[in-house]
Amino acid sequence: MSSLLTILIDGLTYASWLFIVALGLTLVFGVLKILNIAHGSFYALGAYAAASFVGWAATMKWAPGFTLVAMLLAAVAVAAVVAPLTERGLLRFFYGRDEVLLVLVTYAMFLIMEDVTKLIWGANPYYVSEPYGLFGNIDIGHQTYVGYDFVLVLLAAVVGLVVWWGLNRTRQGKIVLAVIHSSEIAASMGVNVSRVYMLAFSIGIFLAALGGAFTAPMISVQPGVSVGVIIVSFAVVIIGGLGSIEGAALGALIVGLARSLAVHLAPVAELFSIYCVMAIVLMFRPEGLFQRIQSRKI
Amino acid sequence: MVRHQGLAVTWQRAAARSVIGAVAAVCLSGASQAQETFKIGIVSFLSGQAAESFGIPAVNGAKVVIDAFNKGAAPAPYNKTGFGGMKIEPIYVDENGGATKQVQELRNLYDRDKVDAVVGYVGSGDCLAVAPVAEEMKKFLVLYDCGTPRIFEDNKLNYVFRTAAHATMDNVALARYLKARNIKVGSFNRINQDYAWGQDSKKDFTWSMEKLYPEAKAGEDQLPKFGSGQYGTEISALMSKPADITHSSLWGGDLQAFILQAGPRGLFKKSQVVLSAGDHVLPSLGEKMPDGTILGARGAYGLMSPKSALNDWWWDIYSKAYNVYPVQAPYRMVQSLLGLKLAVEKAMAANGGKKPTPEQLAAALRGLEWDSPAGKIRMALGNGHQAIQETAIGKTRYDAARKMVMLDDIVRFPAECVNPPANMKSEDWIKAGFPGAKGCP
């Protein structure tokens, strides 16, 4: 029983981390139809920005609790500065082109951003571990968990609900949905599609940066942190269905639980478990769990 | 008289011509000597997850040492300018990108950049991929860092050398340290990355424990992927069935993340954690490194390096240049370059002072011995192509006054104690109970 509980908790905490990042990935694909390979780079940028902001907060002698605000501000800064620059300065020139070309463009961005982060922050590691201890430890059964892990679960739930509510219950969200359905018709109805694209891309990048910023206290922030997260995030959105928020949530939960089960019962099958689940889902639902089959437009 | 004068003028002219000719020849020869360079391709991680802990510190080490060689500023017997008078011209290449890319990059270094030798590779997978290519191309290759024992145990190579001991030494030494310090081990868990280095390290440690602690039970065997970053689930698994010892060969960002996540959850208090390659995270982690962790450096490196004039010189030039003390990767880089320097100069001496061919270089390095900052390096295994060296294991303690992690309770292991003999594979040697092991504490 306690093993089952441990597996569930581990699965949930891993899934919450994955969900925050995968949600941004699926949102960008849903609106802009871009499979953003550079999403992990924005995650890394969020982690680096958090390291700088938390360091700055420390020099300003902010109370320890405000380091979380500093991390949030770091994600906002990345979204406010880098996302519009990237979307307006590069991506918009490729809209309407083959999706494969956009994959190559974002792959090039990934390579460039890896070097840019190294030019700005260097190769030495950054530690932002202070926020990790803010919420103390929680003993459950034989295990001791760090309270921060459960804060991440809460953060993922809040982020998921806010994005869902924003898309489905606000006027701006309905405009975004109209653009997702058909950008041409939305444009003919007077929607500023370019603005919607920039907004959606910025929110997607904010989510990637938020994931990176709140992961920073658990890792050493250094070159290469962008790689691991992007591969698993793709598995999540493919399982859930590209462009679906509910799909990203369920996909993250499935991946998190499958991985947790494997690590506890058959560690050698850790990676296999994730892609095995993905293969099974795709066998029965090639379009993912929450993606409707779409007719091809001519 | 006139005739004499004429003769004298002729003689003087001839003498002057000869002198000018000789001077010109000397100058030309000097110029040609001065222009002669020895090109080295240095391959290490300049980007990606292995850059911070291994790749860049190693390249930094190469830069200060090559600079000292070119100025003739290294201590004897390494004090000849460059390599035997030839200026060393390094070309740095990023190891990031996978084994297939490395194979192509290696071909480019030999074919396009015309390097005389390549020194490189941190990743065991990369070493396994590039070694047969250098062999096929009949080009000189020195592996300076990677740890998998398989390279020379499974292959007979003529042009490829490894100037550092392989991972068997690290894990045998860890197990022997536990025994030497009378640490009770009833059970042990393991967490290692799921690729050649992690798998080989796990096997060597497990087999060593079976011999030194036959009653100890092997428990959890976690194999996270390289670059995982998130270890919450693995830590839960290790803590579900806590063992007396938790062994790991994690390194770089993975090791740092594991320590940052496992420390607050109490793993280091519930179990004695032993790290086979953990020294390189000490300068950056500082007080975040749990006290009492037993760790190795894959050699007598960094805080465990022996006292010697050569080590003092190396420690000094590296620390002054980078404001941090050298850890294992730069140590292994400098020992490979010192060995290469002696081999080139030995081969040149046998070749009439001319730049040696790959075959002559290989003959010079095969079976060579030289002093390094970490002690004596001997190319004793793999038909003289694989090095052995002494190693050391210590225990961490954060020194608040110095604001750095110190290593206490250091035990040194002679090379013959923790490396297999020339005629045995590592696996067979450990499983046979370390026959021929000498000088073990």
pLDDT tens across B265-301, in order?
999 999 999 999 999 999 999 999 999 999 999 999 9
Say what angle helices B252-262 and B232-240 make with each other, to 10 degrees. Answer: 60
The pair of structure tokens assigned to B387 is 């090095």
The 10s digit of each residue's pLDDT in B127-149 is: 999 999 999 999 999 999 998 88
Look at residue B52 and give its three-state secondary structure. Answer: helix
Contact B253 A225 (CB under 8 A): yes
- Matching CATH number, A2-284, of 3.40.50, 2.40.160, 1.10.3470, 1.10.150: 1.10.3470
Q: What residue of B is the nearest CA neighbor of A118?
A: B47
Q: What residue of A is the nearest CA neighbor of B96?
A: A224
Q: What is the DSSP string of A34-57?
A: ---TTHHHHHHHHHHHHHHHHHHH
Query: Tell me, what DSSP letter sits at residue B265?
Result: T
Contact B49 A264 (CB under 8 A): no
Query: Tell me, what DSSP letter sits at residue A295?
Result: P
Judged by phi (left if over 0) then psi (alpha if -120 to 50, else beta), residue A33 lies in left
Q: How confident is the model at residue B48 (pLDDT cuts 50, 70, 90)?
A: confident
Look at residue B165 and give its three-state secondary structure. Answer: coil
Task: Give the pLDDT mean for B24-53.
Answer: 73
Look at residue B187 and give its three-state secondary structure. Answer: strand
The 10s digit of each residue's pLDDT in B65-124 is: 999 999 999 999 999 999 999 999 999 999 988 899 999 999 999 999 999 999 999 988
Return the half-sphere exposure (C-beta side, CA atoms, 13 A cut-off) of residue B307. Answer: 0
The pair of structure tokens assigned to A31 is 């609106």
Give the pLDDT score at A96: 84
| Residue A294 distance to chain B (closest CA, Å) | 35
CA distance A198 to A86: 9
Contacts of B265 in chain A (CB under 8 A): 137, 143-146
Give the pLDDT score at A238: 92
Residue B31 has pLDDT above 70, yes or no: no
Contact B56 A123 (CB under 8 A): yes
Q: How confident is the model at residue B12 (pLDDT cuts 50, 70, 90)?
A: low
CA distance A25 to A37: 9
State how beta strands B375-381 and B386-388 pair.
antiparallel
Residue B2 has pLDDT above 50, yes or no: no
**Which of A8, A134, A142, A222 is the mutation pick for testing B, counting most B CBs within 10 A?**
A222
**Which of A119, A220, A259, A271 is the mutation pick for testing B, counting most B CBs within 10 A?**
A220
Going along chain A, which residue ranges are E strands?
137-140, 143-146
B153 and B67 inside one domain = yes
Judged by phi (left if over 0) then psi (alpha if -120 to 50, else beta), residue B417 lies in alpha
Sketch the domain layout of chain A as residue ranges.
2-284
Contact A124 B288 (CB under 8 A): no
Q: By C-alpha distance, which of A184, A181, A176, A225 is closest to A204?
A: A176
B198 and B286 inside one domain = yes
The pair of structure tokens assigned to B114 is 């015309």
CA distance B373 to B288: 28
Residue B14 has pLDDT above 80, yes or no: no
Residue A81 CB contacts under 8 Å (≥ 6 apart), including other chains = none
Rounded mean pLDDT of chain B? 91
| Residue A285 distance to chain B (closest CA, Å) | 28
B355 and B277 inside one domain = no
Contact A129 B230 (CB under 8 A): no
CA distance B26 to B31: 8
Angle at alpha carbon of residue B180, lines to B175 and B184, rounded to 5°? 70
Q: By C-alpha distance, which of B279, B367, B122 is closest to B377?
A: B367
B210 and B135 inside one domain = no
Task: Give the pLDDT mean for B221-247.
Answer: 93
Residue A222 has its nearest CB partner, among B234, B239, B253, at: B253
Q: By C-alpha distance, which of B344, B306, B376 is closest to B165?
A: B376
Give the pLDDT score at B5: 44
Contacts of B224 in chain A (CB under 8 A): 270
Give the pLDDT score at B13: 55
Task: Give the pLDDT mean for B226-232.
Answer: 89
Residue A267 has its nearest CB partner, among B56, B96, B223, at: B223
B292 lies in a domain?
A: yes
| Residue A143 distance to chain B (closest CA, Å) | 7
DSSP lists the bridge partners of residue B378 as B369, B388
Residue B89 CB contacts under 8 Å (≥ 6 apart), including other chains = B37, B38, B39, B40
B298 and B328 inside one domain = no
Residue B48 has its nearest CB partner, among A3, A217, A224, at: A224
B241 lies in a domain?
A: yes
B210 and B191 inside one domain = yes
**Which of B44, B52, B231 is the mutation pick for testing A, counting most A CBs within 10 A?**
B52
Q: How confident is the model at residue B29 (pLDDT cuts 50, 70, 90)?
A: very low
B287 and B408 inside one domain = yes
B152 and B49 inside one domain = yes
**Which of A6, A112, A219 is the mutation pick for testing B, counting most B CBs within 10 A?**
A219
Residue span of the structural domain in which B188 resides? 168-304+390-431
CB-based burial, A85-124: b 16+ in 10 Å, e otherwise: ebbeeebeeeeeeeeeebeebbeebbeebbeebbeebebb
Give the pLDDT score at A294: 59
Give the pLDDT score at B196: 83
CA distance B256 to A48: 16
| Residue B284 distance to chain A (closest CA, Å) | 7
Q: What residue of B is the nearest CA neighbor of A267?
A: B222
Q: By C-alpha distance, which of B395, B338, B349, B339 is closest to B65?
A: B338
Q: What residue of A is the nearest CA neighbor of B265?
A: A144
Give the pLDDT score at A117: 92
CA distance B254 to B264: 16
Query: Tell me, what DSSP letter sits at residue A233?
Result: H
The domain tally of chain B equals 2
Return the half-sphere exposure (C-beta side, CA atoms, 13 A cut-off) of residue B50. Answer: 23
B251 and B398 inside one domain = yes
Sheet holding B187-191, edge to edge: B217-222, B187-191, B245-248, B272-275, B294-296, B391-399, B404-413
CA distance B119 to B90: 10
Residues of chain B in Cβ contact (below 8 Å) with chain A: 47-52, 56, 96, 194, 220-225, 227-230, 232-234, 236-237, 239-240, 253, 256-257, 260-261, 264-266, 284-285, 288
Among A14-18, A38-42, B14-18, B166-170, where is mean pLDDT lowest? B14-18
The 10s digit of each residue's pLDDT in B183-218 is: 999 999 999 999 888 999 999 999 999 999 999 999
State how beta strands B37-44 and B117-120 pair.
parallel
| Residue B234 distance to chain A (closest CA, Å) | 6
Going along B84-211, which residue ranges are E strands?
87-94, 117-120, 141-143, 160-162, 187-191
**Phi, psi at B120, each rounded to 5°:** 180, -175
Q: What is the pLDDT along chain A (298 residues), one digit of tens a residue?
A: 578 999 999 999 999 999 999 999 999 998 988 999 999 999 999 999 999 999 999 888 888 889 999 999 999 999 999 999 999 999 999 988 888 999 999 999 999 998 899 899 988 889 888 899 999 999 998 899 999 999 999 999 999 999 999 999 999 999 999 998 888 999 999 999 999 999 999 999 999 999 999 999 999 898 888 888 888 999 999 999 988 899 999 999 999 999 999 999 999 999 899 999 999 999 999 888 987 655 555 5
CB-based burial, A199-222: b 16+ in 10 Å, e otherwise: bbbbbbbbbbbbbbbbbbbbbbbb
Task: Give the pLDDT mean for B338-344.
Answer: 98
Residue B239 has its nearest CB partner, among A137, A142, A218, at: A142
Cα torsion for A163, A169, A175, A176, to the nearest 10°? 20
Q: By C-alpha distance, which of B214, B188, B204, B248 is closest to B428?
A: B204
Residue A284 CB contacts under 8 Å (≥ 6 apart), including other chains = none
Q: What residue of B is the nearest CA neighbor of A11?
A: B233
Contacts of B96 in chain A (CB under 8 A): 224
Contacts of B194 in chain A (CB under 8 A): 268, 270-271
| Residue A148 distance to chain B (closest CA, Å) | 11
Residue B3 has pLDDT above 70, yes or no: no
CA distance B58 to B406: 22
The pair of structure tokens assigned to A215 is 């992961």
Residue A150: CB atoms within 10 Å = 16
Q: By C-alpha distance, which of A151, A203, A155, A145 is closest to A19?
A: A155
Residue B21 has pLDDT above 60, yes or no: no
Angle at alpha carbon of residue B322, lines to B320 and B326, rounded to 5°? 90
B236 and B210 inside one domain = yes
Residue A164: CB atoms within 10 Å = 15
Residue A264 has its nearest CB partner, among B228, B237, B285, at: B237
Give the pLDDT score at A295: 53
B231 and B291 inside one domain = yes
B76 and B216 inside one domain = no
